[in-house]
């Protein structure tokens, strides 16, 4: 019953009756994936749809010069796998950003479900369309934006994806702990460039954290103002 309750809160399955949710019983038991676990990659078979029950997952590609380019960050309730991001033709990796609870659905069964319930197909199209737009935005920032602007965009994205319920708060915590090196990798930069920019954002009152090993918090309105002005 806990899994059925959870599925009812996932955007894709909202509106389905309890009986319809019960029919999705081909989902495997929930599995805890530790931080840093590669869940999917171009070298693995993608025969499942992954649903994030808790935690967060980063989708990225590796550029020709070996750098990681983050294309999306997904939080609780989001889904990914063969029939979503990995059908884009771009070889993507998926890695957990923190200890995460993931459940899996056989993609063949999912296709059967959306065939029988067209409303699921429509929701699926909406989710994929929104994700493609976010990917285009990220690529534009990576191609034309400064490292400062990439960091601002990334923190704004993290807040929206990982803590959407706090959108009306002045300071929004980023629930996952991220190192300077990880932020550099996620913005196509290097740690030596990222660190002074993070210090500057802290001085400007846009970013803060209580300790070196604590998660960041952002001041949403100041960040968005800086994002619109930053070059």
Place of tokens 């429509």: 122
Nearest in space to 103 (alpha carbons), one of 160, 16, 25: 25
Helix (H, G, I), strand (E, B) or coil at 41: coil
Residue 192: which pLDDT band, with cuts at 50, 70 and 90?
very high
Say if pTM beats, i.e. exceeds, 0.75.
no
Rounded Cα gap, residues 13 and 119, in angstroms: 9
Query: Would you state the CATH architecture of domain 142-229?
Result: Orthogonal Bundle (1.10)
Write down the domain spans for the chain. 2-119, 142-229
pLDDT at 86: 40
- Residue 29 has phi, psi (to 5 degrees) of -60, 150
Residue 84 has pLDDT above 50, yes or no: no
For the chain, percent of residues with pLDDT exceeding 70: 77
**Region 2-119: CATH code:** 2.60.120.10
pLDDT in tens, 86-136: 444 556 889 998 899 888 877 777 777 778 778 777 877 777 777 777 777
Q: What sections of the chain are H helices per DSSP?
A: 2-9, 18-22, 107-116, 118-144, 147-162, 180-186, 191-203, 220-229
Would you state the pLDDT for residue 65?
Answer: 78
Judge residue 45's burial from the number of C-beta atoms within 10 Å of its C-beta, 0-12 exposed, 13-18 middle, 19 or more buried.
exposed
pLDDT tens sequence across 54-67: 888 988 888 787 77
């Amino acid at each position: 019953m806990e899994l059925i309750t959870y599925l009812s809160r996932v955007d894709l399955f909202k509106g389905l009756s309890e009986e319809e949710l019960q029919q999705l019983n081909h989902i495997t038991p929930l599995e805890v994936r530790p931080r840093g676990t590669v869940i999917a990659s171009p070298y693995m078979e993608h025969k499942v749809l992954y649903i994030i029950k808790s935690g967060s997952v980063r989708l990225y590609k590796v550029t020709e010069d070996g750098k990681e380019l983050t294309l999306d960050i997904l939080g609780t309730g989001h889904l990914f796998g063969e029939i979503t991001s990995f059908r884009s033709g771009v070889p993507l990796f998926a890695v957990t950003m923190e200890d995460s609870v993931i459940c899996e659905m056989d993609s063949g069964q999912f296709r059967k479900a959306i065939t029988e319930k067209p409303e699921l197909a429509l929701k699926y199209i909406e989710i994929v369309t929104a994700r493609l737009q976010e990917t285009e935005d990220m690529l534009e920032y990576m191609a034309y934006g400064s490292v400062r602007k990439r960091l601002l965009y990334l923190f704004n994205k993290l807040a929206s994806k990982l803590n959407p319920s706090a959108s009306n708060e002045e300071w929004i915590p980023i629930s996952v702990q991220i190192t300077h090196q990880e932020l550099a990798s996620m913005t196509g930069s290097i740690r030596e460039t990222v660190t002074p920019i993070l210090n500057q954002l802290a001085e400007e009152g846009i970013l803060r954290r209580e300790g070196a090993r604590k998660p960041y918090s952002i001041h949403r309105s100041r960040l968005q103002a800086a994002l619109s002005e930053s070059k």
